[in-house]
Chains A and B, each alone.
Chain A
Amino acid sequence: MNRKNILALSFATLFVAAMADPVMAYVLLSPRRRWPTTPVTVRVYNVGNSTISDGSGGVNATVSAIRAWGIISSSSTSSAAVRGSAPATIMLNSNGGGLCTGTCLAATLTGYYVSQAGDDRIYDADVYTNQSHQYYSSGEPGCSGEYDINGIMTHEVGHVIGIGHSNVSGATMFPSVSACNALPRSLEADDIAAKNDLY
C-alpha cells in the first residue's frame, strides 16, 4: 500500500468514525437535566399489575430491577403518584388517566425547572403503565407473548434520571422492545456512560 492510499484510508476511517459517533453514543434528554442530588428516590406504588403473577404484581421485581442504575434508592409505597410533586413514582396499575393507552407500553412524565446556570433541575418524574397489555416479571417462570416489566421499568427509570433513547442496539435505552425480551434488564456500557455523564 503506498503512502497516498494509506492517507486516503486514514482519512476515510476518520470520516466514518465521525459519522459513526452518533450511532455509538447515548442521547441525553434535551435540554440537559438532572436531579440535584443522588441517590434519586424512586417509589413503586404497591398495587401491582394484574397481568403479572409473581405474588406482588411486579412491584418487588421493579423495586429491585431499577437499582441496576446504581444511583436509585427504591422501595415500594402505599402512596400513589402525585404528578408535579416528588418523589418519582412508578405506577404499575395505572395508565395515568389515559396518558398511556393504545400502543403505549409505559410512559414517563417528567418535570423540570429551567436553571440559569448549569443543568436544568428535575423536580418530579412519574411512570405509568398501559394495563391493556400483558407483562411478566423476573419472578415468573417463562414468557408467552408478554412484555418484561423489569426491562421496561429499567428503561423508563433511565428517562426519569434524564437519559433519552440510544441508537445502540442492545442498550437498555434502545427505543424498541419486543415481547419476551429481557435484555434491557442489564445495562450496557452505553447506558452507564449516559448515567456517568449526568451524575
Chain B
Amino acid sequence: MHRRTLLSLGLLLLALALPMSASQFIRAPFDQVARESALIVRGTVEQTWSAWDDAHEVIFTYANVRVSRYFGEATGPDLLVVREAGGTVGDYTQEAIGFPAIRRGEQVVLFLSKWEDGADYRIHAFNQGKYLVRDRDGMEVLFEDPVKQGEARLAPGKIARENGAEDVMTIEEFAGMVEAARAGERVERPGPRSN
C-alpha cells in the first residue's frame, strides 16, 4: 500500500474518531442570549459558598463575582452575587446535571439574568451563558466551559477548549458581537460549539 494511501486512511479514521458535540438544551442564537441577558460581565469568581434553601430542598452555590467590565449598555456594581443550583453541604452533594458550574478563581465572562424570585443573578441560557477567559499572547480569549455539573473532571475524549482555535474568540470580538446583537443584528458565534 502506498504511503500516501496509508496516511489518507489514517487521517480519515482519525477524523471519524473526533468527539461530536451538542447541547442537551435547545441552543439559542448568540444574539438572542445577548439580548435576553440583564447583564453581561467580565469578572473573577472570588468567594463561593453553598447552602440549602429555606425549604431545605435545593443546595445553591453562591459566587461573588468581581466585575472588571460590563458589555452592552447595562452596567451595575463592581461586585455581583451569582447563584446557581447545585453544590455541596457537609458530605451531601446536589447537582443539576449538565448545568454550568461556577468555581472559585475562575476568570469568566457571564451572561446574567435574575432568578424568578428576583433575588440573585443566575447564568442566563445555562452553558451558553458562561465563558472561561484565558490570556493568550497578551490577549484575552474566550471559550465555553467544557466541564458541566456531573462532570467532576473532563470526560474522556474532551479537550480543553482553549486548545481548539476555531471556537475561541478574543474579548474584543466578543464585545463587538454583543454590541451588534444589542443593536438588533443577528449574530452567531464562529466555529464549532462545545456542549
A contact residues vs B (CB 8 Å cutoff): 1, 5, 8-9, 12-13, 15-16, 19-23, 25, 27, 29-31, 82-84, 97-99, 101-105, 107-114, 123, 133, 155, 159, 164-165, 167, 169, 174-177
Q: Is B162 close to A, CB under 8 A?
A: no
- Pick the contact of B150 from A1, A21, A23, A29 — CB < 8 Å? A29
Residues on the A chain within 8 Å of B57, using CB:
82-84
> Top 9 nearest A-B pairs by Cβ distance?
A22-B157, A176-B22, A98-B116, A83-B57, A20-B17, A22-B156, A16-B13, A30-B152, A175-B24
Residues on the B chain within 8 Å of A82, using CB:
57
Residues on the B chain within 8 Å of A155, using CB:
24
Secondary structure of the B side of the interface? Answer: loop
Q: Residue on B with the closest CB to A29? A: B150
Q: Residue on B with the closest CB to A1? A: B1
- Among B99, B152, B153, B155: residue with most chain A CB under 10 A: B155
Give the number of A-B contacts (CB < 8 Å).
146
Q: Is B145 close to A, CB under 8 A?
A: no
Residues on the A chain within 8 Å of B6, using CB:
5, 8-9, 12
On whether A109 and B96 interact (CB within 8 A), knowing A103-B125, A175-B195, the answer reads: yes
On whether A103 and B28 interact (CB within 8 A), knowing A19-B14, A20-B13, A123-B92, the answer reads: yes
Q: How far is the CB of A159 from chain B (nearest CB, A)?
A: 5
Residues on the B chain within 8 Å of A101, using CB:
116
Asked whether, in the complex, the Cβ of A19 is within 8 Å of the Cβ of B17, the reply is: yes
Q: Residue on A with the closest CB to B58? A: A83
Asked whether, in the complex, the Cβ of B157 is within 8 Å of the Cβ of A167, the reply is: yes
